[in-house]
């Protein structure tokens, strides 16, 4: 059996009791830091916590060489630990699909993912989030237009946009993310946008700041992981009140309340 076990958002204690029990009873335990990072702990702390060896898998072990793991799971209980919840990344779904084709069942043990934390840290209405996107580092000097187009279309339907930030080669900051967005913002839509920057969600001291996107670029969010929400043009009063209380939103934001 192949178990994909979510580690949650911050440190070793964010795993569920169900997930913890599965790790204790597993024949072999692996971990991957490719699809996300767990910055409130370390590999050494995790080994100590589980009292087990935990081997690190690289991208290629999860993709091209996934059959090595799948073949082991035919005769043993194999756990792959993953920061956050093991569902957002296609890598995990693809592993589950390949395992099934080889006759190996996969069990996913969920945990909190970044999206949950974004909802509770921003107080924005879940129903008002439109499509999300990831701001990636330029590829062959080309900056993807997907994030800016997603913001544009979401704002047309009064929807908020979650922007995840690239992790490779190193976790992107909000400043870097906004700088990339600006470079493809031909219609200058960011000029009038407000956003919420979030750093270290899931930790005891997350930083959450709401302001004009252009101002967030120069706000000091501290170390990663970062992510960014671009607000819908109109807000519910509750959303404004929450952002003012928990994300130091500027008073002028109230003029966008319906």
Positions touching its own copies (CB under 8 A) are 6, 8-9, 11-18, 20-21, 85-88, 90, 92-94, 96-97, 100-101, 108, 110-113, 115-117, 119-120, 123, 125-134, 153, 157, 159, 202, 238, 241-242, 245-246
3-class state of residue 172 by DSSP: coil
Rg of the chain over all Cα atoms, to the nearest angstrom? 20
CB of 214 to its own copies, least distance (A): 25
228 vs 128: CA distance, rounded Å = 15
Q: How far is the CB of 116 from its own copies (least distance, A)?
A: 5
Closest CB to its own copies among 107 and 175?
107
CB 9 within 8 A of CB 114: yes
Shortest Å distance, C-beta 133 to its own copies: 6
| Secondary structure (DSSP) of 45-71 | HHHHHHTS--EEEPHHHHTTTHHHHHH
Pick the closer one to its own copies by CB: 194 or 242. 242
Q: Which is nearer to its own copies, 89 or 214 (CB)?
A: 89
Measured in degrees and rounded to the nearest 5, phi and psi for residue 150 equal -65, -45
Q: Per DSSP, which regions of 95-193 are E strands?
A: 106-109, 133-135, 161-165
Q: Measured from the CB atom, is 217 or 225 closer to its own copies?
A: 225
Name the minimum Å distance from CB 125 to its own copies. 7
Rank residues 8 and 217 by Cβ distance to its own copies and give the closer one: 8
Question: How many Cα atoms occupy the beta-carbon half-sphere of 91 within 13 Å?
Answer: 21
- Structure letter (DSSP) for residue 111: -
Q: Give the shortest CB-22-to-its own copies separation in angstroms.
A: 10
């Amino acid at each position: 059996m192949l178990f994909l076990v979510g580690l949650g958002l911050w440190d070793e204690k964010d795993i569920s009791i169900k997930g913890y029990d599965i790790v204790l009873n597993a024949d072999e335990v692996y971990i991957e830091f490719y699809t996300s990072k767990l910055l409130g702990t370390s590999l050494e702390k995790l080994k100590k916590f589980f009292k087990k060896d935990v081997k690190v898998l690289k991208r290629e072990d999860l993709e091209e060489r996934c059959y090595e793991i799948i073949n082991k799971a035919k005769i043993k209980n194999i756990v792959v630990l993953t920061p956050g919840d093991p569902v957002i990344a296609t890598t995990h779904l693809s592993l589950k699909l390949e395992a099934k084709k080889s006759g190996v069942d996969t069990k996913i043990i969920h945990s909190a993912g970044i999206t949950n934390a974004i909802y509770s840290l921003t107080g924005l209405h879940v129903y008002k989030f439109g499509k999300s996107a990831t701001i990636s580092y330029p590829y062959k000097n080309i900056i993807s237009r997907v994030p800016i187009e997603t913001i544009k279309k979401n704002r047309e339907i009064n929807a908020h946009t979650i922007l995840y930030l690239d992790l490779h080669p190193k976790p992107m900051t909000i400043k870097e993310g906004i700088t990339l967005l600006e470079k493809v913002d031909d219609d200058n839509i960011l000029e009038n946008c407000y956003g919420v920057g979030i750093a270290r969600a899931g930790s005891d001291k997350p930083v959450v700041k709401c302001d004009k996107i252009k101002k967030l670029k120069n706000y000091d969010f501290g170390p990663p992981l970062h992510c960014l929400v671009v607000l819908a043009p109109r807000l519910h009063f509750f959303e404004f009140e929450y952002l003012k209380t928990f994300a130091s939103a500027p008073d002028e934001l109230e003029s966008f309340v319906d």
